[in-house]
Amino acid sequence: MNKFLHTEDIIGSTREKLVNWLDKVIKWININWDSLKTTTHREKKETIVAIVILKELIIGHEVSDKRIRFLKLQSLDLIKILFLISLKFIPLPIPFTPLAIFLGKKVGINVLPSSHI
């Protein structure tokens, strides 16, 4: 009987922690929603510009050094995004994306995409 009560305490504590975590996530999304939308929209525009530059290179048109530099930087952003997305496919309960962002900042590597325009 005593073990059963202890198990209920653990389940209750875990449930409470999960509810607190979900509350924090929902608050974070609400606070940062405009920023997320703006960043996503910016990355979409930059990717379209990068595709146009790549098309010009493939066709053989003259492309300025500034546009080639932009294409390289945007390609790095796309690699960062693919890296973060690929972490979602690892079947472990550890939240790898926030962990990668945190560890990247610790060693001086920005794993998040940045603006190039």
Q: Is 113 exposed, middle or buried (0-12, 13-18, 19+ CB in 10 A)?
A: buried
Residue 22 is assigned to a structural domain of this protein: no
The per-residue pLDDT for 62 is 93
Residue 64 is assigned to a structural domain of this protein: yes
Q: What is the pTM of this model?
A: 0.59
The per-residue pLDDT for 4 is 52
State the amino acid at position 40 in one-letter form. Answer: T
Name the residue range of residue 62's domain. Answer: 34-107
Distance CA 53, CA 66 (A): 11
Contacts of 39 (CB under 8 A, 6+ apart): 113
Query: For residues 82, 72, 51 and 66, what is the CA-based torsion angle, rounded to 10 degrees?
Result: 150
The per-residue pLDDT for 94 is 65
Domain total of the chain:
1
Residue 27 is assigned to a structural domain of this protein: no
Block means of pLDDT (10 residues each) for the chain, 117 residues, are 57 78 83 83 92 94 94 91 80 71 82 75
Residue 113 is assigned to a structural domain of this protein: no
